[in-house]
Each structure stands twice: as structure tokens, then as C-alpha cells.
Chains A and B, each alone.
Chain A
Amino acid sequence: MTSHKDLLDRDYKYGFVTSIETDTVPKGLTEETIRAISAKKNEPEWLLEYRLKAFRHWLTLTEPHWGNFKYPAINYQDVCYYSAPKPKQDKPQTLDEIDPELLKTFERLGIPLREQKRISGVAVDAVFDSVSVGTTHKEILEKHGVVFCSISEAVHTHSELVKKYLGSIVPHTDNFFAALNAAVFTDGSFCYIPKGVRCPMDLSTYFRINAQDTGQFERTLIVAEEGSYVNYLEGCTAPMRDTNQLHAAVVELVALADAEIKYSTVQNWYTGDKEGKGGIYNFVTKRGKCVGRNSKISWTQVEAGSAITWKYPSVILQGDNSVGAFYSVALTHDYMTADTGTKMIHVGKNTKSTIVSKGISTDRSSNSYRGLVKVLPSAEGARNYSQCDSMLVGDQCSANTFPYLEIKNKSAVVEHEASTSRISEDQLFYLRSRGLDLEGAVSLLVNGFCKDVFKQLPLEFSVEAVKLIEMKLENSVG
């Protein structure tokens, strides 16, 4: 059983640092830093005020430590809060003007940024560190009235919308990292689907952490007007580096009556080396609100990277008959830690939520599901189903589940199931006796284990996710 162990040297495939000049503000966090960021981005007064309000609130908070993990203290004064690729002249007007080094980076990552990649049908708002560098498929989207641009652009072009919805789902007082993000967020995506529009293509953002010691504070805001539909994809890779990097993003989704938002993430940031050194801290606040009747929000995530993943994509089911869903695969290896799950808050009548979480832990990693299902007295007829399965590979890892059910309405039906198992010798033997090699057999079984989640992903993402999990597992099974 040792042969497969050395089959794959699972070094980080995307571990390279692009050397381009960056325009950064000095390290440290003060009101001056925030004013500087705001000034560099030429932001309106209200946004600066919002940032400062958030910053002042942040100063009153202490960093939370209730997660099922420990990490060295983060020195928030030693982080650089703004870094943008330096424009050659001013802002690039077309893709051709963009730094070729940058484009090469995206190409190595396989992002369909250039026009010839158009066949994939994906519009990309690529975020390189903090500033959006290019957007494709703009015309098609414009024809349908869909707004898809960087949030710093939207602040100028769709000021009213941003002002109305920014911080409406995740207020700056929400938690320590959300407050920090509200104070210093540099860029992110903004997406607005007008009434009755079915977004003609999947929208995708590729996040990429680059400049050394630059924390990423992305801010994403998606607003789906009445009766609209959007499928949003977020994929992440980051280059290899030694010092831990904090990533404290905020994602807000707003679904009005009859609207549907599907949000999918594949996260494969640097996990740290085999000794557990380095890697990304992924402390993200993601929340959606089904504001209107019959609205739907669904989160799908494949978490395969980061030294520590700490996030709970949530849905507030306010509109009657609204539906929330959370599908997750979290894979941890080496010294990784994942503490992830969801919150489903049932407020409206006949609201439904589904939670499917699959955790796979290998090596010395720790994988926790933590989730809350809350049914308020007003949520007549609320329904929840949760399923959390864990798979352990090896005897040094751990799998934990911490579900919270808080039910205050008698007509609610809430069910939670969890199981822990491992790949059974019988199943492996069966597959191997039919000619599959060990890797093939394991990958087949793991895919079966995760199938409920993968089938929620758009096709290309699904294929990518399967490959990612296979690649990550190859070294651990035995």
C-alpha cells in the first residue's frame, strides 16, 4: 500500500509569484490609511464616512477566538491594506493595454479572460490583488441591462444602488472581520440583475492574491431584482509564499421577490507546506438575504485550500416561501483546518432550507462542520433538512460536527443527520478486484461521497472540482 504514497508530489500547482510593480500604501491601519485608500480610489464622501464608521467600530472589537483551531496572532498594523497593479498610463481601456505579465498569470491559471476564450461563455471580472483589471462580455450583459463590474467602478456608475445595498446584509457591526473589511475593502465585484432578467451567462470572478504581505479585503455585492436569475462563480488560487496571509472578504447577496441567486465557489488557496508553515487565513463573511417572496439563494462551495478556512455562508429567509440551500465539500490535508458550515435563519412563512455538507479529512488536518438552523416564531411552516457527512482518511486527522438547532415555531419541521465513516476496505477491494487501481478506486468512492454537492455546480466547475479533489487525495490514501 505504499506505492501510491510517492506517486504524487503534491506541490502547489499555482505556486508562483508574478513580479510586477505594485502601487501600495504603507503598512499599518489608521484613519489616514483609510483616507488614503479612499482618495486613491477617488471615492465619494459617503463611502469614506462609511469606512471610517466601520473602522471606529472595529477599534472597539476584539478578535474572536471561538473557532475550533488556533493560529498565531495577526498583527493588523503589519498588513498592507492597499496594493494595485500600477497602471502604465492611467486606467487600461482595453485588454490589450493590460500588463502582459498579468495576462500571462491569468493564462497560467486558465482564466478565460481573452476574447478567444469567449466560447466558454464566461464573463470574467478578474481581481488581481485589489483592483479589477479587465472585464469581458460587457456588451452582451449591457444589452440585457445586467451590471457586472468592479465595485469601485460601481461606486461611481451606480452610486445609488451601491449606497442602498452596501452593508445592508452584512452590516459593518456584524463581526470583527466584517468591520475590518468595511473599513479597508479595496475592490471586489458588483452585480445587478434588473427586474425579470435571466442573466444570459454565468458570471465569474477569479480572485488571486499576489503582492507579498497584502491582505485581501474583497467586497462583493449581488442584487437580483424581482423575477431575475443569476449564476455566479467564484474561483480562487493563490501563489506560494511563506508568511500567512489574511483574507477577510465580505459577500452580500440580495434576492428580491421571485429572484434566484446561485453562488458557487471553488477555493484552492495555498494551504501551507507539509509542515503546516504558511498558507492563507480565509476568514470570510458571506451572507444572502431572501428579501422577497418566493426568492431563492443557494451557496455551493468546494473548499480545498487555505491553511485555515473559517466561514459560514448564510441565508436569511425573510420573504414568505423563500428557499435557501447550502452545499459544501471541504477537503483538508496536511495541517489544514476547516471550520465551515452555514446559518439558515427562517423568518418568513413556509420557508425552506437544505444543508448538505461533506467533509473529508486526511493527514493531520482538522475538519469541522458548524451550522445553525434558527426558526423564529413568525416562520410558520418552516422546513429544514441538514445532512453532514464526514470521511476520515488516516488516523491522525479529526472530523467534528457542531450543529445548532434553535426552534421557536411548533409547525416547523427540522431534521439533522450526521455520519462519520471511512472508505471501507470492502468497497476498495471490490473495485480493485475489477481492475481499478487504488487511486481510481478511491477517487470513484470519494466522488460518490461528494456527488450531492458536485451536481449543484455548473458543468465546468464540477469537472474542475472533481479533478481538484482527486489531485489532493492522491497522496493521502492508504
Chain B
Amino acid sequence: MRTSAETVNKFKQAYEELKGKNLLRGSARLAEVRESALLRLEGEGFPSRKNEDWRYTNPGTLLQHDQLSGLESPRQGLKPDDLAKRNPLALATSYRVVLVNGWVQKELCRLPGGEGLHLYSLASLIAGQGPAEILDRVEATWKAQEEAYGQAFSWLNSAMSLDGCVLVVDANQVVDRPIEVVHLGDGDSASRRISMARNFYFVGSRSKVTIIEGFYSSAATTNLTNSVSDLWLGAGARAHFLKPQFESTKGCHVSVLRAVLETEAELRFLQMASGSSVARQEFRCDLRGENAMVRSDAVFLVEGAEHLDLRTEIRHQAPRGQSHQLFKGIAGDSGRAVFNGKIVIEKGAQKVDSSQLCRTLLLSNSAEVDAKPELEIFADDVKATHGATVGQLDEEQIFYLLSRGVPRAQAETLLAQGFLAEVLEHYQDAGSAIAQMNELISGWIARARTPKQSSNAGAGGRA
């Protein structure tokens, strides 16, 4: 395995190449953002497992991707049919932006015609083909968020990302259809590419919107997705944000969603994850304004030898905020699920109400669950609770169903379904995507209960 320094060097060369080919265009401010991100990456390198934030996931496993050529230009020729095949959620009525390996594909997009909702590709904004004030906003957000919350993978993205989706919803809009941002990974096992989309979502004050940021890929794809998204909710805005991640089990995934909530904004954020040999999803949320509310939920399945690391950090920066989290998942075969949820209640953020619960079903002795809920509280008049459980289906509940004539296998399936479906209950008004997700979950349970060949790693070997 390469050392962190060698990896960083490789990326630095790629960066210089892009620069040499004059592909890193844009304002002086953007150039500065890219430079400083690269400098910080050079200075600190990629973390090791000694870094507390990476205790359960080895960043080295994410970095064995060589092909950086894909960064320069998009692959052409993907047809709408291909899209439908790979996107299990493909909605009949939605606004849609499709990105292939991090590049917006205009011909696959379904863009709104009316006022109040604007979708751009980042590349075209940078090239000066969009409103200057929106580019200005993108750059300002990019700089500020990277300075506040940058880490190795987002620095890498900052330095070299050339495209992504930019969404602007004006104030006082009710967007009638969900907005799908579809990230497709395309390629084969021969070329391990990195796709680095950079996305910005701005939801104006008092507007209402549902955003589905999905990550999918064809089965053979060995890509690494390294995506960074920044979300801003203006005062009183309400957003459902769904993030399905169903990529190839041969690929790797790193993504960050960073949200800022102004006064009385409400965000309901649902992660769904399954697939990817190694995946790490980060969610950061700053409740900057008073009375802001965030729900952050997840359903996940790890099977085979998959490794999934879900990390959340919710910062209450203003009084009377609310945050509620419910994470539920299943770990089977020799899969490993990691949950690290941090809640910070800053000084002065009084009357905050915060709760967090992570529950995992463990189906195999070679599977592993690592949970690390964290609370850091600097205000005294708050309510904060967290809980984590790992275990099996409740024998009492199984017995209840058995006593009513339900066969055992069916009883277990029913209970496992109910276990996961509870998470979706908070999203019933997010539209038809939720019904589809519910169906997907049923499929998972059938899958998880069938042991895979790769799962016979012995449990008895350890003393």
C-alpha cells in the first residue's frame, strides 16, 4: 500500500497537470480555494486509523484508485435507458440532474421551465455561462465551509473538482416535484476512477422542497466516489433531503453533506445505504438560527464483506433548536457497520432538545457493529439523550407471531421489515420515493437472510 505522502504526491501531480492544461478555470478566489485546499492536504496528509475520526475505517482502503484521467472530461453516450437501469428510484415526475462520474450530462437532465427554481452545472457557472451573483455565492460558501469543516477528502475534492450540481430555490417557493440529483458511476473493473462532484443547494427563505441526492453505479464499476455537497436552508425553509447510496460492491464511496440551518429552518435528512466495498458518509449540520430543527435518519444494510461508516455531527449554535436522529440497520455475513454520531450543544444554545438512537441487528458472528455516540454539552438548560443498541430480533415478538400461526421465517422477515421501516415513517410526506424505498427494504431483508459464500470466516479463531 502506498504511504499517505505518496498518495498526496500523486494527487498533486494530477493537480499540476489539470492546471497545465488550463482546466482549472475560474476566478482568483476560486483559485485560492483550490490552492489552499491542496496545501492543507499536503500539510496534513490523509489520516491514518490512529486518527480518532477514522478509528474504525482505514482511509488507505479508499485510496487505491489510480485513474485520474476521468477528471478531465465526461464520458459521453449514456442513454436514458441506462439511467433507468441503474437508478432504482427513477421517478416518473421529477426535476432531474444527472451526473456521470461527476460530470453533468445535459441530455439526461429534466430541468424546470418556470420561475423560482434554478439548476446549473458548476462547470458552466465557472465558465461564466450563468448569473454572476450565483457563482459569487457558490464561491463564498465553498470557501467558508472548507475553512470551517475541511478534511482530507473534501480538500482533495476542492482542489480538483470541475463539475457538480448547483441548485437555487428562490424565497417563498413551493417546489411541486422532487428534485433528483443522480450521481452515476460508470466504468469497469479495468479503470478505477475517482469522481469528484461538488454540489451546492441553496433553499430560499420559507420555501419548501424535496431533494433526492442519489448515488448509483453499474455492477462492475470499481470507482471511488468522492462527493461534497453544501446545503443552505434560509429562514423558515423546509426541506426533505433523501440520500440513497446504492453503488457497486466493487467500488468505494466517500461523501459529505454539510448543512446550515437558519432561523426556524427545518431539515429532514434520510440516508439509505447499501453496497460499496467501503463507504463513508459524513453529515454535518449547523443549527445556526434559533428554533431550527433537523431530523437525521438512516437505514442501512451491510452484507458480504461490505464496510459502511456513517458519521454525523450536529452542532447546536443557537437556542431552542431541535435535533432528532434514528439510525437503524442490519449487519450480516462479514459486513461491518460503523456509526459515529456527535452532538455538540454550544455555549448559549439553551433550551435545546436533542435525541439520538442507533439500533443495529447483527445477523452473523463474523459481522461487526461499532457504535460511538458522542455528546458534548456546554449549556445547562438542555435536554439531550442518546442511545445505542446492538442485538437480535426480540424473541418475545417472534413468539407472539408464532403463536398466531405465522411461520418463523416469515415472522422474522416481518419483524425485520418493521424494524427498518420505522425510520421511513418520518418521511411519509416526502412523496413517492418513500414508497419505493420501502420496497427496496423488503428486498434487503430477503437478501440479508441468505448467507453468502464469503461469510464463512471463522468466529472461533479468536481467544
> Contact residues of A with B, CB < 8 Å?
66, 347, 376-378, 390, 392-422
Contacts and interface: CB of A to CB of B under 8 A. Distances in A.
A410 B362 contact: yes
Contacts of A418: 373, 375, 385-387
B351 to A, nearest CB: 11
A416 B370 contact: no
Nearest to B381: A422
7 contacts: A66-B52, A395-B378, A397-B378, A408-B368, A415-B388, A420-B377, A420-B383
Given A411-B392, A414-B390, A399 B367 contact: no
Interface of B: 52, 347-348, 350, 360, 362-392, 459-463
B380 A392 contact: yes
A415 B389 contact: yes
Given A416-B388, A417-B387, A392 B377 contact: yes
Contacts of B391: 412-415
Contact of B379 (A376, A390, A395, A407): A395
Contact of B392 (A392, A400, A410, A419): A410
B371 A416 contact: yes
B370 A420 contact: no
A398 B363 CA distance: 38
Nearest to B55: A404
A399 B375 contact: yes
Nearest to B355: A419
Given A409-B459, A410-B365, A410-B367, A398 B373 contact: no
Contacts of A392: 377, 379-380, 382
Given A66-B52, A378-B462, A410 B387 contact: no
A377 B389 contact: no
Contact of B377 (A390, A404, A415, A416): A390
Contact of A377 (B347, B365, B370): B365
A392 B369 CA distance: 31
Contacts of A417: 385-387
B368 A406 contact: yes
A283 B107 CA distance: 64
Contacts of A401: 373-375, 386
A228 B350 CA distance: 51
B343 to A, nearest CB: 10
Contact of B369 (A66, A399, A407, A413): A407
Given A378-B462, A412-B390, A415-B387, A422 B380 contact: yes
A414 B388 CA distance: 8
Nearest to B363: A410
Contacts of B392: 410-411, 413
- List 9 A-B pairs, minimum CB-CB distance, nearest first: A377-B459, A392-B380, A413-B391, A405-B371, A420-B384, A410-B362, A407-B390, A419-B385, A416-B388
B460 A397 contact: no
A66 B375 CA distance: 17
Nearest to B371: A405
Contacts of B385: 417-420
Contacts of B379: 392, 395
A409 B379 CA distance: 38
Contacts of A402: 372, 374
A406 B55 CA distance: 11
A291 to B, nearest CB: 13
Contacts of B376: 398, 400
Given A378-B460, A403-B373, A419-B385, A408 B365 contact: yes
A215 B262 CA distance: 52
B372 A395 contact: no
B412 to A, nearest CB: 13
B349 to A, nearest CB: 10
